[in-house]
Amino acid sequence: MIPDILSTLAAMVHGGALIAFALLINLRRAIPRVTDEDVIRVYRAFGGGFGVSLGVLIFSNIWMWWRDLGAGRGLPDAFSVPWDDTLTVARLLTFGAFWISYIWLEIWTLDPLRLLDSGEIKDRAAYTRSVDQVAVHIGINAGLFALVVGMSVWGARP
């Protein structure tokens, strides 16, 4: 029960924020008085929220996996993957792609923005190009996360 609640709360916080930022950053030009740096600075400020919620989501799902397989099982069987279950394999592969995409976003997509934003934007054209790349990448991550959640909900149906 505890890991189920933790997983649901973490998915709501992480997914809700991710989808909200994906929409906000991709619609930022249609919203009056919202600048690129406003959106990116708020997104970067919420980095801890993303990290903690994703960590809790992963931990609680590992806990549920272990519980569902039978808590008395020892290693290496405790976390065995049922490779014959197509939905589980697809969910794990999609989550792996999501996680790798997040690493890519943090290191190679957001880092140029960190370097260009020292409180004042000196190269506006380079900053705008980088923000556009981040917008696409966050949209991809939101889509991958929605796929993982969708497969999890679909797989949980009786």
pLDDT in tens, 24-83: 999 999 999 999 999 999 999 999 999 999 999 999 988 887 777 766 666 666 566 676
Contact 57, 7 (CB under 8 A): yes
Q: Which residue has the tokens 């260009």?
A: 116
d(CA 60, CA 106): 23
d(CA 143, CA 153): 15
Give yes or no for residue 143 having a pLDDT over 80: yes
d(CA 39, CA 36): 5
- What is the pTM assigned to this prediction? 0.83
Structure token digits, residue 30: 């249609």
pLDDT in tens, 13-25: 999 999 999 999 9
In this prediction, residues 123-133 reach a mean pLDDT of: 93
pLDDT at 91: 86
Domain ranges, ordered by start, for the chain: 2-156
